[in-house]
Amino acid sequence: MLRDERGETGMNDPVDVLIIGAGASGAAVAWSLAETKMHILCLEQGGWMNPATYPSTGRDWEARAFGDYSPSPNIRAWLEDYPINDDNSPIRVVNFNGVGGGTVMYTAHFPRLHPSDFRVKSLDGVAADWPVDYDTLVPFFEENDRMMGVSGLAGDPGVPPRNPPMPPLPLGRSGTSLAQAMNRLGWHWWPSDTTVATVDYEGRARCINLGHCTPACAQGAKASTDITYWPVARRAGVELRTHCRVREITTNEYGMAAGVVYYDADGKEQFQAAEVVVLACNGVGTPRLLLNSASARFPNGLANSSSLVGKNLMFHPYAQVYGYVNEQTDSNRAPPTCLWSKEFYETDPSRGFVRGYTFQFGRGVGPVAEAVASEAKGLLPWGEGHHAAFRRLNGHRLGLSAICEDLPEEHNRVTLDPVLKDTNGIPAPRIDYRIGENTARMMEHGIARAKEILAAAEATDICVNSPILYGGWHLLGTARMGADPASSVVNEWGRSHDVKNLFIVDGSLFVTSGGVNPTSTIQALALYIADQMKERLANLFD
């Protein structure tokens, strides 16, 4: 490493490709590009995870989900986290910063977007069509399923054909009760595709039902990219530098990305030159970095001639409904992912809204989570009746959530907070978001249908959380892809319209959100873009 003349900024040897972010998409694109033998470097603001310290290894396993393993960066407040001002949103942003990114803490629910999700304008007259389609992404979905290790069951009439490499998670007691209820109603259900290994798979041990998947899997059965893509990518020569927080992307006199300025683990400012810069910070981190990269040439932020950087934020509002049955459920003794239903996924105008939602069924929660939630809902009394009430609730919960398609609306956006900064003094993101009318109607529909399902399961004491407050996992749409530079930030293969050596590969790309967890599609898109880059290496910047 060199020092500049002032000795203030560390100057590093240039690399061919610089990837920012080591999460779902950054890992996938690093692995895919590794075969080019280019010098590839990834900068990650967090560190490597240590499964021996994960919550499920200790007796305080549930309590830590409210503290140092909260999905909210504002609550978790690790040094590698950046604060987010989401006070003006009914849904709080949740994420994870570290090698593996959000996959360390996700539920591992792994559906794909449907073919219709890529043709929203053509089919339903709202929002916009994507510049790619489902069929184009199929080979990349399949490649990603193999790399992440997907468990599931072929033959689902609710989704296009696919062949998960591992068998599905067991139905268990909760799944059985819910399946019986769905059959009584004649509604579709199917075991969810997940990235939980149900058999030993590519060096990962099979799931042993720790039941505490979301605050990271100590068994290593849940696929997070620190244990799937990254080991392979590093063996293939990709360099991963941790605890490096990028402040801005710099540009040269030709308007091309020159590299990035970042703070290393010691807080020392560094400059890293690169021929190609790839952004993989997802739907809040990516626009934040582009907006923080404003310069005289790009006064509104980098890659922002469309003024769309940060706009069209989509969350997937969750409408959660649960109740209690007489029989024991699986509660915390199994992965929370269970079944899905596509009964209300595709547009039916008679419902009063366009687009649709997936039902995602859960298995229940542990005793602490049950006690805290039930007390807050008024189901769990103080004093004399506490114990009897708790024994009626604990281990008897059945629940589901409608994961509703959010349509792009420009007023839902990520900007830079004028006051809030991270520990390196970099302006933090501010979220302004409200739930759209179409989505609100969809959520009401989902709540009503969920109550019918729980009634069919003979559940009582029905509770509703709509939207789930700390449910902003899916951060989409803030640097969307498209053929027209006036209405999109990157082109149909992820390259910035404005800066021809700058690529985006994360959830920011989404033109619309679909009604499913997006990680599978984010990673398929990242692999697709990496493939496009490899095919166009000779004229990548033309």
Partner 1 sequence: MSTDSPLTQAQSDDLRAIAGMIIPASVEFDVPGADDPVIHADVVATLGRDMALVREALDQLARLAGAPLVGLDPVRREAVAMQLRANGGAAVATLIRVVLQCYYRDDRVVRSLGLEPRPPYPIGHVLEDGDWSLLDPVRARSPMWRRA
Cβ of residue 218: shortest distance to partner 1, in angstroms? 4
- Of 183, 167, 218, 192, nearest to 58 by C-alpha is 218
Cβ of residue 77: shortest distance to partner 1, in angstroms? 8
Measured CA to CA, the distance from residue 305 to residue 410 in angstroms comes to: 15
Please report how the helices 134-148 and 24-33 are oriented relative to each other, as an axis angle in degrees rounded to 10.
Answer: 90
Q: Which is nearer to partner 1, 283 or 514 (CB)?
A: 514
Cβ of residue 317: shortest distance to partner 1, in angstroms? 22
Q: Which is nearer to partner 1, 91 or 181 (CB)?
A: 181
Measured CA to CA, the distance from residue 294 to residue 288 in angstroms comes to: 11
Answer whether 272's CB lies under 8 Å from 12's CB.
Answer: yes
Question: For 114, how many CA atoms within 13 A lie in the half-sphere containing its CB?
Answer: 21
H or E segment at 449? helix 437-456
Cβ of residue 226: shortest distance to partner 1, in angstroms? 17
Measured CA to CA, the distance from residue 318 to residue 347 in angstroms comes to: 18
Tokens matching residue 179: 């399946």
Q: Which is nearer to partner 1, 304 or 394 (CB)?
A: 394
Q: Which is nearer to partner 1, 134 or 528 (CB)?
A: 134
Cβ of residue 535: shortest distance to partner 1, in angstroms? 25
Measured CA to CA, the distance from residue 540 to residue 409 in angstroms comes to: 32
Residue in this structure with the two tokens 């997907």, named with its chain if needed: 150
Residue in this structure with the two tokens 């895919």, named with its chain if needed: 32
Burial class (CB in 10 A: 0-12, 13-18, 19+), 30: buried
Cβ of residue 67: shortest distance to partner 1, in angstroms? 6
* DSSP for residue 206: P
Q: Which is nearer to partner 1, 31 or 190 (CB)?
A: 190
Cβ of residue 371: shortest distance to partner 1, in angstroms? 4
Cβ of residue 91: shortest distance to partner 1, in angstroms? 18
Q: Which is nearer to partner 1, 207 or 533 (CB)?
A: 207
3 state SS of 122: helix
3 state SS of 420: strand
Cβ of residue 295: shortest distance to partner 1, in angstroms? 38
Using alpha carbons only, give the angle 330, 334, 337 rounded to the nearest 5 degrees: 100
Q: Which is nearer to partner 1, 11 or 77 (CB)?
A: 77
From the CB of residue 146, how many other CB atoms can be counted at a distance below 10 Å? 14
Q: Which is nearer to partner 1, 19 or 481 (CB)?
A: 481
Q: Which is nearer to partner 1, 208 or 538 (CB)?
A: 208
H or E segment at 147? helix 134-148
Residue in this structure with the two tokens 């053929």, named with its chain if needed: 483
